[in-house]
Amino acid sequence: MKVSVIGIGKVGSTVAFVLARDGLASELILWNRTREIAKADAIDIQQAVAFVPHRVHVRDGDLEDTRDSDVLIICVGVPTSPQDLDRNAWAIGNTKIISDLIPRLVELSPQAILLNITNPLDVITYHILRISGLSWTRVIGTGTLIDSARFREMLSEQVGIHPVDLNAYVLGEHGESAFAALSVAHSGGEHIDATPARQRMIEDSKRSAWEVFKVKGYTNYAVAMAAQLIMQSIVEDLRYTMPVSVLIDGYCGVSDVCLSVPCVIGRQGVHLRLKPDLNAQERDLFRKCADRVRSIIDLTRPHTISPDKKCS
């Protein structure tokens, strides 16, 4: 399988390493605006895979080298700093970048699945979908898979059950309006009660990401593992169910926006977009997520951005 990672910053570099380590590509292309960075990472990762029992050909390249990719992983973005405490601050700059890149990438790899990691996640996933013209089943954002993992880790400590055995999802926006769908959370067939302490965990999990960001200026390990899980389900056609950002079409009265809902992921992308039976409060929260994300989408539609807007 040929996989191209677009944008070799802290996140793209970590994602590329994890994919090579786990043998989730036979050919791995690293593209970066500063090609020397991609070249250095390609050499380093290629040498690292000497320690694993599978072979992966890792190299840097220009956009032409991504031709006929099976998966394009989008990690590009404007520079960030620990002072940026709202993902939406990057919306205009990152929309401009993907508007420049996506048409050519899709022209070169028209059958590819696009996996987006660039923030603001839901806004950029939506723009990628509309710019690419691809089926919604082949444009996926990592979404609240990361938030759900953080939430399950905290919930696990309280209930004494391994996180893998907790069917508890964070849904909606990968951002401040994300919420835990505790009305449908369970383990071993037993419902997990929505206590106030458990409701607060979602806020604690969101804060934990920003605590890391304020110190490091980025988060990379959790999102790389989220990308790894999605890629494994695609490569091996595992049909894992996970909350990822996809186009919403009528769920909870919401349409024409990308948000996270549980989806079954396999070799063709999204095989099923599931519709959990949320309670009235959660449905309202989902609609509020949609309103928040749609407001940023409307502000950042490619035709509304001045052509001389500069992105570093």
pLDDT for position 116: 98
- The whole-angstrom separation of Cα 293 and Cα 279 is 21
User: CB of 125 within 8 A of CB of 94?
Assistant: no
Q: Which of 174, 186, 191, 303 is catalytic?
A: 174
Better-scored residue on pLDDT, 85 or 48: 48
Name the DSSP letter for residue 119. S
Q: Write the CA distances from 138 to 246, 247, 296, 312, integer angstroms.
A: 9, 10, 23, 28
pLDDT for position 84: 62
> Is the pLDDT assigned to residue 86 strictly greater than 80?
no
User: CB of 113 within 8 A of CB of 128?
Assistant: no
Residue 194 corresponds to which tokens in the numbers above? Answer: 């929505």
> Is the pLDDT assigned to residue 250 strictly greater than 90?
yes
Per-residue pLDDT tens for 195-204?
888 888 888 8
Per-residue pLDDT tens for 147-193?
999 999 999 999 999 999 999 999 999 988 999 999 999 999 999 98
pLDDT for position 310: 36
- The whole-angstrom separation of Cα 41 and Cα 62 is 14
> Which of these ranges, 27-31, 225-229, 300-304, 305-309, has the smallest mean pLDDT?
305-309
> Is the pLDDT assigned to residue 306 strictly greater than 50?
no
pLDDT for position 88: 78
Omega within 30 of 0 (cis) for the link into 262:
no
Per-residue pLDDT tens for 5-35?
999 999 999 999 999 999 999 999 999 999 9
| pTM strictly above 0.85 | yes
Mean pLDDT, the chain, integer: 92
pLDDT for position 307: 41
User: CB of 86 within 8 A of CB of 242?
Assistant: no
- Within 8 A by CB and 6+ apart from 282, the residues are 171, 179, 181, 183
Nearest to 229 by CA among 219, 220, 216, 238: 238
Sheet strands side by side (includes 240-249) = 57-60, 27-31, 2-6, 71-74, 113-116, 139-141, 240-249, 255-266, 269-273
174 is catalytic: yes
User: CB of 291 within 8 A of CB of 180?
Assistant: no
Structural domains of the chain in order of their starting residue, each with its CATH number: 2-141 (3.40.50.720), 145-300 (3.90.110.10)
